[in-house]
Structure 1
Amino acid sequence: MLSHHTPEQDLPSHTDRERDRQRLDAALNDFLAKGGQVVEVKPTERAVGGPSFVISAQREELRQLAEAKPATEVPDEDLVRLLRARALLGDTLRTASKRLQQPLDRCHSLARAHRLPFKVGYVKGGSRT
């Protein structure tokens, strides 16, 4: 062995790859044994009922949370959570209040109190929120 050679820099060998394949195969078998399902979708097809692609799983969860239909009377804590999700998705405060079917004044006061980072949008009269 040469003095400048370190074993950490070695490329993965054929046996390392085979070991990884076996580990993945065992994990997949465990997943299936616990009742999991694998649905294969071809690259040219789209999953039934799903988006064409998901940029981030966390962002997708936020979108689903934000688009959930709230009851007519929503507690402040839940509304703040929904408003935060809409803000992170890039909505304006006016759009968020319409989508959540909540009064703009209530949404505005909660957004201001919790310093929610809403996108600035045009408001009739030239002022900005």
Structure 2
Amino acid sequence: MRNDRARGRFPARVYSQGTEPDPRFSLANERTFLAWIRTALALIAAGVALEALGLGLQPGLRLAASVVLIVAGCATPVQGWLGWAATERALRRNEPLPSSLLSLPIGILVVVAGVLVALAVVFR
């Protein structure tokens, strides 16, 4: 079902689906997207700070943890965007909400970074 109000809205492949949902649901979806962006900024900042400050940790493990945090921070906006689009399409089609695609891998990366930092503290 083509929604003619989708013309000129980005991304058209999301807004051309179904009908307009209750604005409160779309706004909540946008707030979730923004939360993913804030999380990405925090992960990248943590990775940069960990390496820049040094903190007397074992250098190899500290660098590895920093890189893992920065990679997780770079993957997080991808999850935010894909999640926003999938949720918006589901809302417009009146379908069940989808699950997150990258939440588990990002969570695993954060755990790996934590283990690396813990090892860097132990082996300093």
Q: Which TM-score bucket, shorter chain as reference?
A: under 0.3
Q: Larger % of helix: which?
A: 2
Structure with more contact order per residue of length (Cα contacts < 8 Å, sep ≥ 6): 2
TM-score by length of 1: 0.22
TM-score by length of 2: 0.22
Which structure has the greater CA radius of gyration?
Answer: 1
